[in-house]
Homo-oligomer: A and B are copies of this chain.
Amino acid sequence: MSTQLHIAHVRHVLIRLEETIIFALIERAQFLRNAPVYKPGLFGEALEGESLCGFLLRECERTHAKVRRYTSPDEHPFFPGLPVPILPPSGGVENPLVPNTININPKIRTLYEQTLVPMICAPGDDHQYGSAGVCDVGCLQALSKRIHYGKFVAESKARQQNEALREALAKRDPDLLMAAITDKAVEQQVLDRVAAKAGTYTADLNRNATTPTVSPDVITAIYRDYIIPLNKTVQVEYLQRRPLSLDASWA
Query: Chain A: residues with CB nearer than 8 A to chain B?
Result: 12, 15-16, 19-20, 23, 26-27, 30, 43-44, 46-47, 52, 55-56, 59-60, 63-64, 66-69, 72, 86-88, 90, 92, 127, 130, 133-134, 138, 196-197, 200-201, 203-205, 208, 210-211
Contacts and interface: CB of A to CB of B under 8 A. Distances in A.
A217 to B, nearest CB: 18
Given A12-B210, A200-B203, A200-B204, 14 more contacts: A12-B208, A19-B26, A23-B26, A44-B87, A44-B88, A47-B86, A55-B67, A59-B66, A63-B63, A64-B134, A67-B133, A72-B130, A200-B200, A200-B201
B130 A208 contact: no
B211 A64 contact: no
A127 B90 CA distance: 9
B16 A69 contact: no
A219 B212 CA distance: 24
Nearest to A135: B20
A43, A88, A130, A203 interface centre (most CB from chain B within 10 Å): A130
Contacts of A92: 127
Contacts of A59: 63, 66
Given A201-B201, A203-B200, A46 B210 contact: no
Contacts of A63: 56, 59-60, 63
A69 B130 contact: yes
Contacts of A197: 204
Contact of A67 (B52, B66, B68, B72): B52
A189 B229 CA distance: 44
